[in-house]
Every structure is written in structure tokens, then in C-alpha cells.
A and B are shown apart, each in its own frame.
Chain A
């Protein structure tokens, strides 16, 4: 569970029994966003963002992780992935390499370059599996690298390992 500065203020104000509209006024955001943030804050499960343009790959992975009690959100292209990371602040990103609009490397690079998102761990997923791809992925800051088709148990183990390693 990761909190940004606004989340922390909301928590503080809630402890002082502030109303939603007061919080919205204080932070300069809409009331619905305050509600959304509170809903998100109330979900204490670990949040994972899966980025893959292949719905057939994305869906079983999502189901499997949900069954492990992860809060799973999804994105189908590079741009959407960047938006989701910024809005949802996931605890981990599973990032496919071949994506429309922005490919996995570019997404990874942008996330690592941005201070707000640089701490978010990234596991790269790809069907290519060539050594040069792996090296490039690690060099631009990916935390781990899994090739398709992967073993679900192994992927889960790696997710947990990365989360443990990068826990705040």
C-alpha cells in the first residue's frame, strides 16, 4: 500500500473528522476524487497493474492474481499504463514489452525517470526472451524479467520477492 502526499493529508484530516467537502476544498480537488481516494485507501490489498495488449494473456493472469487476493488493475497500451500508474499508484507493475503507442521499454524508462513513480517496482513480461532484451530491460531499471509462457507459481513467487525487496 503506497500513499502519496495527498493521500497522507486526507488520512490526517479524516483523523480530525473533517468532512469530504472540507478535504476537497483544502486540497483543491473535487469531492468525487476525494471519495475515490478514500475508497482506494480503504482497500488495503496489494495493488498490481498488469499492462498487456493481449486480453487473452491479461485476463487469466488477472484472475489468478485476484485469487491470490491482489487488487489487480489493467492497462492495454503504454500511454494508458503511464496514466494508471500516476492515478492508482500501484505497488507493482507487470509490464509487457510489446505494446501499442509506447513500448514496454519506453514506459519503464518514463516511470523510472519520474521521481513520483521511480520507486514503483516493475517486472517485465515478454514473449521475446532474448538476452539483449533482458539486459536492456534491467539497464533501464526493471526490477525483474519474466519470459512468456511463464509458470504462474514462479511468477507469483517473483512478485512476492520483488515486493519484499522494495517494501518501504
Chain B
């Protein structure tokens, strides 16, 4: 018991250690995975930002280049020829809000689409000529910072000077609406994703904000200075203004005063002299979400694997246990067989011992029975020989000798009968036998003994009782034996009855006495040879002890049945049944 408990403790400790190791490994791996995923995520965000920035720069630059080519190519043409191209360009390239021509005096003379062109608008008159002047003076394309359009939204103004040699002919003003760019390059990034994209110019002014449309056109830095809610963002904005690229994390304050980490990936948009910056701002929880989704997949995989392993193992266990049960059942049945065989052997052994004892008892009994009359004869003969014996004595001795010769003869005959019966060599002269006459003959031969003991003999045989098949002589021997047996055990003035009757195709003979009876446990044994051995009851009556055994042998040789019934102290009844003739 103690050893068992110790084993349990050891197993428990090992389990705990294993769980700790697995858990710590799990945590370590989780940390590493988090790091890797974080890195990958940041890189991906940065790539997205960079891609968007490059897209914007490329797009815008392409537009500028088209206008520049037009300006250079058609610098010598009529103004009308030049402006005719505006329509084609507007229609063939997407992204322009409007294309206008401003003459050398700073007055808008043409624009396409015409309804967007404020023809006649004088820049000088309106004091909006600084960009125009810059383009003219520097003979170089000027891109002004995005400014609000009349129709709302921000627009980027591109001023391209047209020079025919040294002659300044005017400026082509192309306006690109910011929303055209942002709708094309920034808005799609965050589709179906958490987080938002924003873009600022070199001053920190919002050119696009996917989360807060109202912020577009306002300066983030100013906003932050007025209402500093999110520390760290300002630093990021400054980095962006400097034209750097990278990723950074800051704590964003929420409305409910809780703070959440926000990952910002930013990349610069270099468009001519303009430096803008695109940023993708995503809550850090996105990374956890990603990790969780990875784990969820892994868990599903692991769960499936474990389920398969468990299911398989259970199946195997069930199979083995069924095998085991079959084996056990087999072993049990085999063991049962062996136990039964053992019991049978023991019983057989007991029976053999019993038989051996019976045999040695039989031999001892036979020798006793043979020697007793011999002793009587010998002593009697010697007495006769002694001389001086009177006439009376001589006669007595002679009688004893003769009687014992008869007794010896009977015994030898009985033994021979028995031996024939037991070895199956008894010759039956089968014929139709009338039990009536058999009984009459038997009574005749025991008559003297009956009358000597003063026994009353009742005979009951129905008239015309059926004949039986059998050996007349042997059957007479049976009845005589039964009668002798009854006489021996019936006290003086007792009663013996012999009855016969027919039933179910058989004839039954019953011999009853009023003797001492047979104990119930001995009813079967009375037919054994020398049953009277060691039984003082029967010894009193004398006899060879073979009569009933011979009766049983003869009746059974006739395929009949013989048995005894008795009430101790009241007498016994011996009954046999034989088949009727025909």
C-alpha cells in the first residue's frame, strides 16, 4: 500500500514538472511568435504605406509630366491649339479636376471642363499670384500646397510655365483633386480592416484621414498642441514631416479615457519638391487578433490531431480489452474444464479406492466364508477320530460335516454365479415363464425354513398372470434368494408376503418381510456383494452375503429392474419388474 502511495506522489510530481516545462515552453514560444508576427505585421504595414506613397507619387508625377510635355511641345503654337489639347488630356487621363490656361498677364483665359474654369479671373487682381510668379520667374513647374477648392475638398495646384524661347506666354494650371488620389490609393488599403490611413503634407496638414473626414485640411500638429490627447503621435508626425519612413507605436487615448496602443507605419510621398507622408494607423490589438487567429487555426489542428489520436487509442484499447476479455473467458472456461476434470479425477480416484477396498473386503470375506465351514468340518472330523466319542456326538459331528459341505458348495456355486454374472458369461435359457409356477416352486423349497421359524407366508397372485420372457431356473433362484433373505431377517412368528401384479407391459413381483429393515442410505448397497460385511444387523442372520447381488445380476441380465424399499424396524420390500411375454 505504501509503495503504491509513493508511486502516486512520484507520478504527481513528474506530472507537475512536465506541466511547468510545457507551460514555460509555451510562454517562450508565444513570446517569440508574438515578436515574429509583430515584426512581420509592421513590415507589412510599412510595405503597404510605401506602396501607397509610391503610387501617389507616381500618379501625381505622371500628371505633372503630361502637362509639362504639353507645355514644352506646344510652346510655339497658338494658344487656341494648346488649349484644344486640354480636353483630350482631361478625358484620356483620369485624375484632373480641371486644366486651365492663364495668360502672361495672370488672367484665366481658358479651362476645361469649361464650367469649372473661372475665365477672366485675374490673379493679380485677386492677389493670388505668388505661385504664378514663382513658375514664371523660375521657369519651372510650381506645385502649390493643396488648398480648398470652391466646390469643397482639397486640390493640388500645378503651375507649368509656357515659354516660347524667352517669351513667356502664360501658365498651364492643372488642378488635381486630393480626393481623386486618396480614393484611388489610400481608401482601398483599409477596406475590411481595423484602423485607418492618413496623409499629411510637410506642415502636418491633413490631406486625408480615413477615420475623421472633418480633419481633412486641418493641421494635426496644431490640433495636438491645442488638445494633447495622444502622446507619441506628435513625435511620429514630426518624423513624417522630416520625410522618414518606419513604424512606431504610441498610446492613443480613447473617449472613455482608456488607452490603447496604436501601430503607425509611415512612408514619404516625394512628389517633385513636395514631401508628404502616408501613414497607416492600426490598433496593436490587431496583432493579437492575428496571433489569436493563428492560434485558433493551430488549436483546431491540434484538437483534430488529439481527437484522432485519442479516438484511435480508445479504439485500440477497446479492441485489446475485448481481446483480453475473450482470452480471459477462454482461460476461465479452460480453468473450469480443468477444475471439473480434476474433480472428476478425484471422484474417480475415490471410486477406485472404494472399489479397491470393496475388492480386498471381498477377498477377505470370501476367505473367511470359505475357511469357516472348513474349520467346522476339520474339527468335527478330528472329534470323530478321537475315540471315546459317544454315538450321539459322532452323529452330531457327521451332521456338521455334511451341513458344512453343503454350505461350502452353496458358497462356491454363488461365487461362480457371481463371477459369471460379472464377466457377462451367464447363459440364460430364455423361454416363456409362468411366474405363478416359479413362485410356487420357490415357496416349496423354502417351506421347511418358514415353518421352522413359525413365519406366516402370504401369497397374492392374480389369476392368469401374464408369462414373462426369461430363464425359469434363474428366476426361481432369484425368488428363492429373496424369500431366504426375508426369512433370515424376519423374527419368529413374523410375516412374509409375496405379491405379483401386472402394470404397463411389465410383471412386478414384491417380496415383503416384517424384519429389521434397511437404513435409507443403504437401500442401494444391499445389492453389493457381502453388503453385510461389518454390519452386525445382518451378520446375526448369517448367509453368504451374495444372494442379493446374484438376484440383481440375474434380473438385470433379463433387462429387468430390481430395487429395495424399507422402513427401518418395520421391514423391507424387494421388488423386481420383468417385461411381459410378446
List residues of A whose CB falls within 8 A of some B CB: 53-54, 56-57, 59-61, 63-64, 67, 77, 98-101, 126-130, 147-153
Contact = CB atoms under 8 A, between A and B. Distances in A.
7 closest Cβ contacts across the A-B interface?
A148-B375, A127-B371, A149-B375, A60-B379, A56-B376, A60-B380, A152-B382
Given A64-B386, A127-B369, 9 more contacts: A56-B400, A60-B400, A63-B389, A63-B396, A98-B368, A126-B368, A149-B374, A149-B375, A149-B378
Interface string B365-391: 001110111111111101100101100
Interface of B: 364, 367-369, 371-380, 382-383, 386, 388-389, 393, 396-397, 400, 403-404, 407, 536, 539-540, 542
Most buried by B among A53, A54, A150, A151: A54
Given A57-B375, A150-B375, A67 B364 contact: no
A130 B364 contact: yes
A101 B376 contact: no
25 contacts: A53-B539, A54-B376, A56-B373, A56-B376, A60-B383, A60-B396, A63-B396, A63-B397, A67-B383, A98-B539, A99-B539, A127-B371, A127-B375, A128-B364, A128-B367, A129-B367, A129-B371, A147-B371, A148-B374, A148-B375, A150-B378, A150-B379, A152-B379, A152-B383, A152-B386
A99 B293 CA distance: 109
A54 B393 CA distance: 18
Given A64-B383, A149-B379, A57 B389 contact: no
Nearest to A56: B376
A57 B364 contact: no
Contacts of B396: 59-60, 63
B537 to A, nearest CB: 9
A68 B396 CA distance: 18
B371 A148 contact: yes
Judged by DSSP, the binding face of A is loop
Contacts of A54: 372, 376
Nearest to A97: B368
A42 B376 CA distance: 32
A153 B374 CA distance: 16
Given A100-B536, A127-B368, A57 B383 contact: no
Contacts of B374: 148-149
A100 B543 CA distance: 13
B328 to A, nearest CB: 52
A100 B389 CA distance: 31
A50 B368 CA distance: 19
B478 to A, nearest CB: 27
Contacts of B377: 149
Nearest to B374: A149
Contacts of A59: 396, 400
Contacts of A77: 540
A101 B559 CA distance: 38
B536 A101 contact: yes
B458 to A, nearest CB: 29
Contacts of B386: 64, 67, 152
B539 A57 contact: no
Contacts of A56: 373, 376, 380, 400, 403-404, 407
Contact of A63 (B364, B383, B536): B383
A153 B378 CA distance: 12
Contacts of B379: 57, 60-61, 64, 149-150, 152
Contacts of B373: 56
A96 B65 CA distance: 157
A77 B537 CA distance: 12
B376 A67 contact: no
A60 B368 contact: no
Contacts of B376: 54, 56-57, 60
A63 B382 contact: no
Nearest to A96: B372
Contacts of B382: 60, 64, 151-153
Contacts of B542: 53
A152 to B, nearest CB: 4
B371 A149 contact: yes
Contacts of B400: 56, 59-60
Nearest to A133: B364
A101 B535 CA distance: 9
A48 to B, nearest CB: 14
Nearest to B372: A127
Nearest to B537: A100
A89 B376 CA distance: 26
A100 B372 contact: no
Nearest to B387: A67
Nearest to A58: B376
A63 B393 contact: yes
B308 to A, nearest CB: 81
B393 A57 contact: no
A109 B400 CA distance: 32
A17 to B, nearest CB: 40
A154 to B, nearest CB: 10
A143 to B, nearest CB: 20
A67 B388 contact: yes
